[in-house]
């Protein structure tokens, strides 16, 4: 039976600054290989070239065999490419548009197969919330919204919880209105490692950063640090 791993990063990492590559090293440590194969999927940024360049700089430094998948130029054979990897890393950007493109190309079912086969799923922001049932996104210009995601793991997730001032009040509002019952909130420079769907490990690669589950119980909001 394969061990299943998701590393959902709330913000930070190579997309902002190469730095010490702490969270990237953590992701690689989940694969017991000297030169793991890692594939970057930058759909949410519209396949941004600078983002791809930073990916190659970061993971080449860590002795990985690197590649990426484009959807806004000619797209290669997806299943063969994805299932040959050890790690998938999904970049940040517009979550709603990313998932729409993936659905059109049937990538969501290929990723689910890869996840079940023990390929590590990881990513930041859009690439963090996409693995959950639902995510809180700023894909819309003037508001935050809850959108359906891939559903590999249960729950609703919110990235950038301490980095973008509108996130925390929005989460409290939808909990108080009982639109949702709980939310996993991931701060910047922090990641949630989900092992085998249910085991949660919080990875702080900043200064005292954390993952918090906020839930409504008997009309009272409670916080649980994961």
Contacts of residue 15, defined as CB under 8 A and 6 or more positions apart, other chains included, come to 51, 54, 91, 92, 124
- How many percent of the chain have pLDDT more than 70? 100
Residues in the chain: 226
Task: Read off the pLDDT of residues 129-174 as tens digits, 9 standing for 90 and up.
Answer: 999 999 999 888 788 989 999 999 999 999 999 988 999 999 999 9
Task: Note the pTM of the prediction, 2 decimals.
Answer: 0.95
Number of Cβ atoms within 10 Å of the Cβ of 33: 12
Is residue 125 flagged as an active site residue? Answer: yes
DSSP one-letter code for 43: G
Q: Pick the residue with more confidence: 114 or 220?
A: 114
pLDDT at position 159: 96
**Which is the catalytic residue, given 45, 160, 182, 193?**
160
Q: Classify domain 5-134+146-153+189-207 at the CATH topology level.
A: Rossmann fold (3.40.50)
CB 12 within 8 A of CB 206: yes
pLDDT at position 215: 93
Task: Read off the pLDDT of residues 25-46 as tens digits, 9 standing for 90 and up.
Answer: 999 999 999 999 999 999 999 9
User: Which secondary-structure segment (H or E) carries 112?
Assistant: helix 107-116
pLDDT at position 142: 84
pLDDT at position 152: 97
Task: Read off the pLDDT of residues 42-80 as tens digits, 9 standing for 90 and up.
Answer: 999 999 999 999 999 999 999 999 999 999 988 889 999
Contacts of residue 132, defined as CB under 8 A and 6 or more positions apart, other chains included, come to 8, 149, 150, 151, 152, 153, 154, 155, 156, 157, 184
Inform me whether the pLDDT recorded for 17 exceeds 80: no
pLDDT band at 16 (very low <50, low <70, confident <90, very high): confident
Instruction: Kindly list the domain boundaries of the chain, sorted by start residue.
Output: 5-134+146-153+189-207
Is residue 160 flagged as an active site residue? Answer: yes
**Which is the catalytic residue, given 45, 122, 125, 182?**
125
pLDDT at position 10: 96
Inform me whether the pLDDT recorded for 204 exceeds 80: yes
């Amino acid at each position: 039976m394969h061990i299943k791993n998701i590393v959902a990063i709330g913000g930070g990492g190579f997309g902002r600054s190469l730095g010490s590559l702490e969270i990237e090293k953590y992701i690689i440590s989940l694969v017991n290989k000297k030169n793991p194969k890692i594939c970057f999927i930058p759909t949410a940024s519209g396949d941004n070239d600078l983002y791809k360049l930073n990916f190659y700089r970061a993971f080449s430094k860590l002795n990985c065999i690197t590649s990426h998948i484009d959807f806004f130029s000619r797209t290669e054979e997806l299943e063969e490419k994805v299932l040959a990897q050890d790690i998938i890393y999904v970049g940040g950007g517009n979550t709603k548009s990313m998932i729409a493109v993936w659905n059109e190309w049937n990538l969501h079912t290929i990723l689910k197969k890869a996840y079940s086969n023990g390929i590590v799923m990881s990513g930041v922001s859009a690439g963090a919330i996409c693995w959950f049932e639902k995510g809180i996104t700023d894909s819309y210009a003037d508001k935050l919204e809850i959108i359906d995601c891939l559903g590999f793991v249960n729950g609703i997730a919110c990235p950038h919880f301490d980095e973008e001032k509108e996130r925390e009040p929005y989460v409290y509002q939808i909990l108080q209105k009982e639109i949702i019952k709980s939310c996993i909130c991931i701060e910047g420079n922090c990641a949630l490692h989900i092992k085998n769907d249910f085991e949660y490990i919080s990875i702080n690669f900043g200064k005292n950063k954390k993952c918090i589950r906020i839930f409504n119980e008997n009309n009272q909001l409670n916080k649980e640090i994961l």
